[in-house]
A and B are shown apart, each in its own frame.
Chain A
Amino acid sequence: MPLPEDVTALAGVWVGAVLTIMVFSYLLSDSPLFRVAEHLLVGTALGFATVVAVHQVLIARLAAPLLEEPAANAQLAVPLALGVLLLAKIHAPLAWVGNPSMALLFGVGAAVAAGGAFTGTLLRQAQATMLSLSPGEDAMVAVNNLILVVGTLGTLGYFYFSLEGGTRAGEFRKAIARNWRMVGRGFIMITFGALFANALTTRISLLIDRVQFLLGDWLGLLS
């Protein structure tokens, strides 16, 4: 007999509140309460992911089509066979049996990621930095473009470590690169600062969510 919806909702709020307080106990110290909450989070997340993978992938997209219309879905036998071979990784002497599956998994994954990164990010982002520095109509746009170009080239120059010296021209080039590297370093520092500030913003947002939950949903102090 299923519990009434109100009861399950109330139980959910109380469990959530207790677990939230257990997590906040970390402010005092690395206490067993925090550890319990942490392990619960990891365990439930893993269990939930497993259930979703079984129901949403293995059954819905593999077993069910194969059982209902095996002829129309005969191509699904290949991933099924590869998946079965992958189970051999559990037993060390037979681990080599799963190597073809692993090779296919990593090979396809790497190829898809590399191809997408080249066409979707590298080319498009490089193209996006090829900007006009002419003042044109809007001076602010030109300034913005200038900052972007200088920052991009400076950051690239920061990671250019080897320059041939010895000659007069070589030493001159090295001096320029050294100063240019400082420009790139400044932009990198600004980027790191922005990353840190944004991470802090995310944490404050999550803190607000939890406090709103405790004060509103649990204690009913908020309207």
Chain B
Amino acid sequence: MLDEESKVIYCPRCGTANREGSRFCNNCGQDLNPAEEVACPACGHLNPGEAVACANCGATLPSAGPPKEAEEVPEEVPTWLKRLRDLEGGEEEAEAGEKIPTWLLRLRQEGVAPLAEEPAPQEPAPEEPAVEEPTPQGPGVEPLPPEAPVIQPPEPAEAEVPAPEEPTERTGRIDLAQLEEEAVPIEPPSPPPGEGIPLEEAPPSEAISPEEAEDMEPAASEGILAGLVGVLTERTAFPRPRRRQPTSAVPLAGTEQASVFEEIVTGPAIPAPVEKKEERERLSPTLVRWLIYLLVGGAVILAILLSGILPSGLVPGVTAAAFDQALSNLPEQATVLVSFDYDPSTRGELGPQAGAVLGRLMEQEARILAISLVPEGATLADEALDRSAAAAGDYVYGENYVNLGFVSGEAAGARALTQGLFRPDQAEYREGRRLSDIAIGEGLTGLADVDLIVVLTARPEALRSWIEQVQIEQDQTALQVRMVAGVSAQADPLARPYLRSGQLEGLVVGLLGAAELEALRGVTGPASAAVAPQSLGHLAVLAVILAANLAHLWGRLRGRS
């Protein structure tokens, strides 16, 4: 099992846990792997670890590098050092004396005082002039003994040349015959680049004098040569590549460009042509939004308040007429299964539909069985049934209509209805009575006794469940149930293909479809009262679309001109 704690990186700024390997925080963008900061040796300014020059004064920076690399440096022991260790008794002895190497002990025997055992003097040695040699600091650095020979201090002019990347190795008063055999002969120091020769002609590497080495490199601060400043002789054993110094000569073209830049910067500011006029003309999104709200909402509210005055002008459509025809074709006291597959969020649209459908069915004295594939549908069915029964007058619960409640499983539940909808132990929704114990249940054996299924839904999936699972055809023994549907306007494009294919005999859509049913019945219900508000609402939306397109077109024409 993976340790989750070890696979995350916590942001140092906001504390967010980020995936391992992330470079930046997913929450605040903080750099999760910041390089070690490097202090400028000249001004002390803290610079990023990867910087090569100080951002404050421009001085060359020593490379910081991550701590791991610094720890790996001592492992790369140069050949000359290995040979030196061999001369002093082999690696084993060198390793055994970690604090004081053997060759250093020999140095002591030859007259140099041990570095680690005696404390550093508070005052400089009397025989030597007081020299403020920068004492190396850091882990493993030992103070210098008073007897240690002191290297001459660097010249002030050359002390400004920092070269801290490579530690300077110095030889002491030891026999370096073997070492010198491998060493490159020291050549006289060349004049620094920029002073006598062009930069391009400067050699890639050159020998440097002890003074230069002292100036450019600090004493070794750690490792086997720690604390050896002043102990070794002022003699450079190895040449090392000299860093090329940038020339101060500026090309002529650069000077001209700089003068042009200076003229631009110091010259009088020329005001840029700002298109403020266009921004002023543009309406803010908030204002546009409120205008749309006011226009659509105002149209709807006004139409509702004036619903008795405004003409509806409704003409029933073909699909609603087919729906009404399917109800008209039912036999007397037909059994109709009505599925209330909608919830309160779409009740405003499907409630009037349910009222219109139930009113039409009650006119034909049909036995109504209510059912629902959604949990909330059973309660909404109760509400619609009671309201329509109260309007019909002689409809009694349990005798003329019943609510069978919620059927779980949607598609599988609808499929299960074909197997055993009217079992003897089937309980109705309100009081839990068995269907076999109430009047409406007499003679019902299954879905085959149902003359018509009416699906009222806002979801195309529910309608598909009924069509695909219940209205199936299998050869000549098919269980084929006549089916009509009332859907929300949103589901209309996905329900209409089933009407065209003949799987649905009729379809009413939205509030308009409910109003069409009411118009076919010759009554004025809540759906009819909503026709005028809906028409005005649509007109308002059309006006918004037209205005927006005209504004866009106007803007494009102005942009071209």
A48 adjacent to B501 (CB under 8 Å)? no
A53 adjacent to B497 (CB under 8 Å)? no
Interface presence of B412 (CB below 8 A): yes
Q: Which residues of chain B from 390 to 428 have any CB-CB distance to chain A below 8 Å in the complex?
A: 405-406, 408-409, 411-412, 415, 425, 427
A89 CB, min distance to chain B CBs, angstroms = 18
B492 adjacent to A128 (CB under 8 Å)? no
Contacts of A215 in B (CB 8 A): 301, 304-305
Interface presence of A211 (CB below 8 A): yes
Q: Given A116-B468, A127-B501, A202–B305 Cβ distance below 8 Å? A: no
Q: Given A60-B432, A202-B488, A208-B534, A120–B464 Cβ distance below 8 Å? A: yes
Number of contact residues on A: which range applies?
35 or more
What's the tally of chain B residues with a CB closer than 8 Å to chain A?
Answer: 63
Contacts of A201 in B (CB 8 A): 489-490, 510, 512, 534, 538
Interface presence of B103 (CB below 8 A): no
- Cα distance A125–B412 in the bound complex, in angstroms: 22
Interface presence of A45 (CB below 8 A): yes
Which of the residues B425, B468, B538 comes within 8 Å of A120, measured between beta carbons? B468
Contacts of A119 in B (CB 8 A): 468, 472-473
Q: Which residues of chain A from 166 to 223 have any CB-CB distance to chain B below 8 Å in the complex?
A: 191, 194-195, 198-202, 204-212, 215, 221-223
Interface presence of A157 (CB below 8 A): no
Contacts of B537 in A (CB 8 A): 204, 207-208
A121 adjacent to B488 (CB under 8 Å)? no
The residue on B at minimum CB distance from A210 is: B348
Give the number of A-B contacts (CB < 8 Å).
151
Contacts of B526 in A (CB 8 A): 212
- Cα distance A198–B494 in the bound complex, in angstroms: 11
The B interface, classified by DSSP as helix, strand, loop or mixed, is helix
A27 adjacent to B293 (CB under 8 Å)? yes
Q: Given A120-B468, A200-B541, A211-B304, A108–B349 Cβ distance below 8 Å? A: no
- Cα distance A46–B346 in the bound complex, in angstroms: 17
Interface presence of B559 (CB below 8 A): no
- Cα distance A173–B304 in the bound complex, in angstroms: 57
Fill in one digit per residue for B153-165: 1 if any A CB lies within 8 Å of its CB, else 0: 0000000000000
The residue on B at minimum CB distance from A197 is: B489
Interface presence of B347 (CB below 8 A): yes
- A117, A125, A191, A205 — most chain B CB neighbours (10 Å): A205
Contacts of B344 in A (CB 8 A): 45
Contacts of A208 in B (CB 8 A): 300, 304, 348, 511, 530, 533-534, 537
B284 CB, min distance to chain A CBs, angstroms = 15
A56 adjacent to B405 (CB under 8 Å)? yes
Which of the residues B304, B308, B412 comes within 8 Å of A112, measured between beta carbons? B412
Which of the residues B301, B406, B411, B501 comes within 8 Å of A57, measured between beta carbons? B406
Interface presence of B254 (CB below 8 A): no
- Cα distance A202–B348 in the bound complex, in angstroms: 9
Interface presence of A109 (CB below 8 A): yes
Which of the residues B301, B408, B432, B541 comes within 8 Å of A211, measured between beta carbons? B301
A202 adjacent to B510 (CB under 8 Å)? yes
Give the top 10 A-B pairs by smallest Cβ distance, nearest first: A209-B348, A120-B468, A116-B468, A128-B501, A201-B489, A49-B375, A52-B375, A202-B490, A204-B537, A205-B349
A-B contact pairs, 12 of them (CB 8 A): A45-B376, A52-B378, A53-B375, A56-B408, A64-B427, A120-B471, A201-B534, A201-B538, A202-B349, A205-B349, A207-B297, A212-B526
